[in-house]
Amino acid sequence: MTTLIKQPFFYDITLRDGNQSLKKPWNTAEKEIIFNYLTELGVQGIEAGFAAASDMDFEACEKLAKLAPDNIVISALARCVQSDIIKAAESIKAAKKQRIHTFIAMSPFNMKYVLNKSSQEVRNQAIEAVKFAKQTIGKNGEVQFSVEHFGDCIENIDFVIEVLKDIVNAGATVINLPNTVERTRPSVFVSLVEKVYNALPKDIIISVHNHNDLGMATATTVESYFKGAIQLECALNGLGERAGNTNLYEVAVALHNAGVDVPLNLSKIYELALVIADMSNVKIYEKAPLIGPEALAHRSGIHQDGAIKTKDMEKGAYRPIHPSLIGRKDDEKLGFTSQSGKTAIFEILSEAGYPITLSEAQRIAPVAKEKAEKIGELSVKDIIDIYYNNILNVKGAFKYINFEKLDEKTIKLKFSYKDNIYDMEAFGNGPIDACINAIKKAGFDCEFVNYEQKALNMGSDATGMTIMYFNAPNGIAIISRGADENTFSANIKAIFNGLNIIDNMKN
Ligand code: KIV
Ligand code: ZN
């Protein structure tokens, strides 16, 4: 049977399933803060709490029901017991759209070992509870029924479906199918969901509620949606019992990427994730999808190259979305390790205000890799040190010793190459030209093309930089740099750095 897909209905369970898993469950004031964020996010339903669990939760449900905007469904959880149902109904009576959510386990294992009841007893209890809930809430609201441990109902799925038909006749309009403990493969769970969807009237809302014990809850929820489960029970930051509930952000973004019209303000996600981490005291795992601090980091050279080439595009080579979709202000970041390449050197230094070309970055990448092999990821300071030692102070056989200006056009330049010292007098159109002529006069090939001088502010040093362009004997264009507060010293450093770069290429 083909499934007609409607817009998803996001039913947030952070304040109930998420809350019941916390070491310190939220009080009413804390729940109110999160509730306001949820309304800004635009979820369609909010489970405010488990009214019978504690006075504090009852009070929170009452308060949130009063605050609830008219278009948001507000529910409270209740076991299939009359006292719970009465409390749930009482706690949310101020809401315009009220829902009692009642549940009982139907897996053979749980009925036998936890409830200690026969399947017939469970069936009767469920039907009676739904009838009572419907009668209690009356015209003001609706009843949601959950088959706790639905994911474990493979053997008795026909029984479950028969009970669900009775439950619908008893007044439930939302049937929730939880994977209470994630033991079942996504495709197996989804096929159970599809069976229920096909068996019940089409005006009944099918819902899924997947726990994340094996880390597949998002996949299961997303695929269940495409088989007819319109209501998606999710929690902020994936909070929930044990390894948590389905993470709302992941489901919302996965559906968005699949072309579904997701009725949420996705740009609120990132801020909300940080608030929830703070309020729950459950830190965001570094590599958490979408929201983790490392979720935008690239360390392999190939990924860094692709990331930079597609940086400003909506679709990126190595990211599922543009970070701005979820309101993330930080961008993709590159870290330099032994696995990284010239792109990272170039980007990190450029970002830190150090002038560099890609070919210079390629020249110093092996030095950086060697260091990273020993110490792991390099800090920005480590990379700047490599820049100072390998771009601004190139080690080699040429060493500058002294310079003397004899008149406007004549200079004396003293330098050494390996063990030989040269003390040369030469003419030129200016000091740079004269120095180059002195070097040539000493017998060294030095094809100087051009130079430029820049005032710059690198890190904390306000300094000047001379950039020189040479042609190496093999025809390769070489850039060398010299930085100093004194322009003449910057020129000399650039000349000798250039000589050493060319000389090192020969070795
Ligand atoms: O995980 C679960 O089965 C539940 C139900 C109460 C819906 O949280
Ligand atoms: Zn649950």
The count of C-alpha atoms lying within 13 angstroms of the C-alpha of 157, restricted to the half-sphere facing its C-beta, is 17
The string of DSSP codes covering 118-134 is: -HHHHHHHHHHHHHHHH
Q: If you search the block for the tokens 């952000």, which residue do you land on?
A: 249
Beta strands in 37-170 (DSSP E): 45-49, 73-79, 97-105, 141-148
Q: Which helix (H) or strand (E) holds 102?
A: strand 97-105
Q: Is the CB of 11 under 6 A from ligand 1?
A: no
Residue 48 dihedral angles phi and psi, to the nearest 5°: -75, -25
Ligand 1 pocket test, pick from 103, 152, 221, 231 with the greatest ligand atom count within 8 Å of Cβ, gives 103
Specify the ligand 1 atom closest to the Cα of 211.
1
pLDDT, position 462: 61
Q: Coil, strand or helix: which one is 210?
A: strand
pLDDT, position 178: 98
Q: Indicate the DSSP class of residue 135.
A: H
Q: Which helix (H) or strand (E) holds 202?
A: none
pLDDT, position 205: 98
> What is the distance between the alpha carbons of residues 146 and 144, in angstroms, rounded to a whole number?
7
Beta strands in 134-280 (DSSP E): 141-148, 172-179, 205-210, 229-234
> What is the distance between the alpha carbons of residues 335 and 346, in angstroms, rounded to a whole number?
11
- β-strands 205-210, 172-179 pairing: parallel
> What is the distance between the alpha carbons of residues 332 and 294, in angstroms, rounded to a whole number?
9
Q: Which class for 447: exposed (0-12), middle (13-18), buried (19 or more C-beta within 10 A)? A: middle
Q: Are 163 and 200 in contact (CB under 8 A)?
A: no
> What is the distance between the alpha carbons of residues 89 and 96, in angstroms, rounded to a whole number?
13
C-alpha of residue 177 to centroid of ligand 2, in Å: 10
Helix ranges restricted to H, 388-486: 431-441
pLDDT, position 460: 59
Domain 10-264 superfamily per CATH: Aldolase class I (3.20.20.70)
C-alpha of residue 255 to centroid of ligand 1, in Å: 23
Sheet holding 410-417, edge to edge: 398-405, 410-417, 420-427
> What is the distance between the alpha carbons of residues 227 and 51, in angstroms, rounded to a whole number?
32
Specify the ligand 1 atom closest to the Cα of 77.
6
Specify the ligand 1 atom closest to the Cα of 150.
3
> What is the distance between the alpha carbons of residues 346 and 364, in angstroms, rounded to a whole number?
10
Ligand 1 pocket test, pick from 148, 160, 207, 245 with the greatest ligand atom count within 8 Å of Cβ, gives 148
> What is the distance between the alpha carbons of residues 196 and 174, in angstroms, rounded to a whole number?
12
User: Could you tell me the mean pLDDT of each successive run of 10 residues in the chain, 507 residues long?
Assistant: 76 98 98 98 98 97 98 98 98 98 98 98 98 96 98 98 98 98 96 98 98 98 98 98 98 98 98 98 98 97 97 94 96 96 97 95 97 98 97 96 90 96 95 94 92 80 87 90 93 96 90
Domain limits, the chain: 10-264, 297-390, 398-506
Give the amino acid at 318.
Y
Q: Are 349 and 341 in contact (CB under 8 A)?
A: no
pLDDT, position 2: 44
Q: Are 263 and 256 in contact (CB under 8 A)?
A: no
Q: Are 144 and 75 in contact (CB under 8 A)?
A: yes
Closest residue (by CA) to atom 7 of ligand 1? 146
Closest ligand to Cα 110: 1
Topology of domain 398-506, per CATH? Double Stranded RNA Binding Domain (3.30.160)
- Angle 55-67/28-41 helices, nearest 10 degrees? 40
